[in-house]
Amino acid sequence: MRTLIGILILVAIALNCSAQRTTRKNLKLKEVADTTIVCDTLRNADTHIIEISGYDKPLNSKKETFFATNRGESTIVSIGITLNYFDNQKRQLHKVSKTINCSIPPGETRLLSIPSWDKQNSFYYHRSVQPRRQATPYSVTHSIDFIVISK
């Protein structure tokens, strides 16, 4: 009985191992419609096109979050933003410029996030929940460097 099962297994394997032709003849290239997105970059963007609000970074967070609202007439696909961080005495702690890829249709709002500048978790945004342990509050200002829109 075992030899019969063994022979059947070998026959099944031999049948499955037969060569299969994978090349095809007479292939023709089809015309594909151009689906390129036409983008326009707005340098020194008007502040009325995009509104940044709701910034937050609790003490132990690895990222900073904020809302971006598109006030324009085209979809925003990328935002260049510069953030300045200050302590309570208005001394600059840090400055960072980021490019954020996104998709914000006209009239809509999206939650965006970037990695936190505070690698040691010793600072918190002054409007966030005040932590139980000792930490330094900070404030932040932003400026929009550029906006990329799709048409």
pTM for the model = 0.69
In a domain? residue 108: yes
Domain presence at residue 125: yes
Mean pLDDT by 10 residues, the chain (151 residues): 75 64 70 51 61 94 95 93 96 96 96 96 92 93 92 74
Is 11 a domain residue? no
Q: Which residue, among 41, 62, 60, has the nearest Cα to 122 in the 3D structure? A: 60
Considering the domain boundaries, does residue 21 fall inside one? no
Other beta carbons within 10 angstroms of residue 112's beta carbon come to: 20
**Structurally, how many domains does the chain consist of?**
1
Residue 90 in any domain: the answer is yes
Q: Confirm whether 83 is domain-assigned.
A: yes
Domain holding 48, by residue range, is 35-150
Residue 6 CA, distance from chain mean position: 56
- Who's near 37: CB < 8 A, 6+ residues apart? 77, 150
Q: How many CB atoms lie within 10 A of CB 66?
A: 20
Domain presence at residue 18: no
Chain segment 19-46, per-residue pLDDT in tens: 566 677 776 766 655 544 444 444 444 5
